[in-house]
């Protein structure tokens, strides 16, 4: 049995006890969270979210590229969210390589150099500020009164705010 | 008190009872999940994931753009995941608009037309297949033996596989 099949069995149990079939499409709490994809970062558990509460956007690093700006524009313009929470974390994989090294390794193997930035970074707090600044500079995200950035500490479970 | 402050209070309680400080960086189950950002789709709850189990990538629609291919390349090449689970869902916001309409509305308001595709779609199952096909066509994601796509039913809590 693959891991996917194992997780599908879990999903079957989730459906059996499901009682949230009538939640509305817009997030109840009016918040969009943008976080790293890291396995140790359980956004629902950490922030105490329940089904229906918040949009959750995630990628390698929790960085802000065109696709996150697209998602945030849709979140605010079509579904009414008004606050943004950014979460990076300690011991992040993005701290372990460089864009150049990663892309050269891929080119050496495949013969093609990726046409995207890998978005590696060397300083967690600086990259949180970078992400906040990218959102602030975006012309398509309308509401920027509450864009706050944090570092989640995978060692302690704590969330530390980064002033940006 | 802002909603962000309310969620930070929840995060404080999460840290108080935290006992997962020594989990490794690579996901224990070797899986990357790519799902829509929708608030009603609780990926951890649905798939029975715990902290440390799986990468979770999310965006508006659960679509595959350059940034998701970047995240999946990093997930597989640097952190060893080997299976991919794609999740779209019923009653998705992406079914409620068109790329042209959304971008023209933004242009009318801001004077600038977004330089990204909004990635709206009209058929859920077709867009799951589209996402699987985009991953299969990507030259930088090395492991494609298990790329499976699903529609989550927000009305019933069930996960339905789409053959791609």
Q: What are the extents of the domains in chain B?
A: 23-162
Q: How far is CA B50 from CA A35, A42, A124, A158, in A?
A: 17, 8, 24, 17
pLDDT in tens, B86-98: 999 999 999 999 9
Asked if B59 and A71 come within 8 Å (Cβ–Cβ), the reply is yes
Stretch A4-16: mean pLDDT: 98
Tokens of A160: 């530390």
Q: What percent of chain B is modeled with pLDDT above 90?
A: 99
At B8 the pLDDT is 98
Query: Cβ contacts (< 8 Å) between A3 and chain B: which residues?
Result: 29-31, 83
pLDDT band at B44 (very low <50, low <70, confident <90, very high): very high
Stretch A21-44: mean pLDDT: 98
CATH superfamily, region A23-162 = Carbonic anhydrase (3.40.1050.10)
State the nearest Cα–Cα gap between B39 and chain A, in angstroms.
4
Torsion angle, alpha carbons of B82, A46, B152, A20, to 10: 160
Query: Cβ contacts (< 8 Å) between B7 and chain A: which residues?
Result: 29, 31, 47-49, 54, 85
State the nearest Cα–Cα gap between A42 and chain B, in angstroms.
6
Q: How many CB pairs under 8 A join A and B?
A: 266
Tokens of A36: 């790293």
Asked if B102 and A42 come within 8 Å (Cβ–Cβ), the reply is no
Stretch A73-96: mean pLDDT: 98
Task: Give A115: exposed, middle or buried? Use CB within 10 Å, 0-12, 13-18, 19+.
Answer: exposed
Interface of A with B in 103-132 (CB under 8 A): 105-106, 110, 112, 114-119
First to last CA, chain B: 47
The C-alpha atoms of residue A153 and residue A160 are separated, in whole angstroms, by 8
First to last CA, chain A: 47
Residue B81, chain A, CB below 8 Å: the answer is: no
Stretch A71-75: mean pLDDT: 98
Rg (CA), chain A: 18
At A157 the pLDDT is 98
Within 10 angstroms of residue B134's Cβ, the number of other Cβ atoms is 17
The DSSP bridge partners found for residue A36 are A59
At A164 the pLDDT is 87
Stretch B112-123: mean pLDDT: 98
pLDDT over 90 at A21, yes or no: yes
Phi, psi of B148 (to 5 degrees): -120, 140
Stretch B29-42: mean pLDDT: 98
The DSSP bridge partners found for residue A84 are A32, A147
The C-alpha atoms of residue A132 and residue A53 are separated, in whole angstroms, by 22
Q: Which residue has the tokens 């859920």?
A: B124
Stretch A26-50: mean pLDDT: 98
Stretch B63-73: mean pLDDT: 98
The C-alpha atoms of residue B126 and residue B34 are separated, in whole angstroms, by 16
At B1 the pLDDT is 86
At A1 the pLDDT is 86
Quote the DSSP letter at residue B36. Answer: E
pLDDT over 90 at B66, yes or no: yes
pLDDT band at B129 (very low <50, low <70, confident <90, very high): very high
pLDDT in tens, A96-148: 999 999 999 999 999 999 999 999 999 999 999 999 999 999 999 999 999 99
Torsion angle, alpha carbons of A87, A89, A93, A99, to 10: 50
**Are B55 and B31 a contacting pair, CB within 8 Å?**
yes
């Amino acid at each position: 049995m693959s891991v996917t099949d194992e997780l599908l069995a879990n999903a079957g149990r989730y459906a059996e006890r499901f009682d949230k079939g009538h939640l509305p499409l817009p997030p109840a709490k009016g918040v969009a969270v943008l976080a790293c994809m890291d396995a140790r970062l359980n956004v629902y558990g950490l922030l105490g979210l329940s089904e229906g509460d918040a949009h959750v956007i995630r990628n390698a690093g929790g960085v802000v590229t065109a696709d996150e700006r697209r998602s945030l524009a849709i979140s605010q313009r079509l579904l009414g969210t008004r606050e943004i929470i950014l979460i990076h974390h300690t011991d992040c994989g993005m701290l372990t390589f460089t864009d150049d090294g990663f892309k050269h390794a891929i080119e050496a193997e495949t013969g093609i150099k990726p046409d995207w930035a890998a978005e590696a970074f060397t300083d967690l707090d600086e990259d949180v500020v970078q992400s906040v600044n990218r959102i602030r500079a975006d012309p398509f995200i309308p509401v920027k009164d509450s864009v706050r950035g944090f570092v989640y500490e995978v060692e302690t479970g704590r969330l530390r705010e980064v002033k940006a």
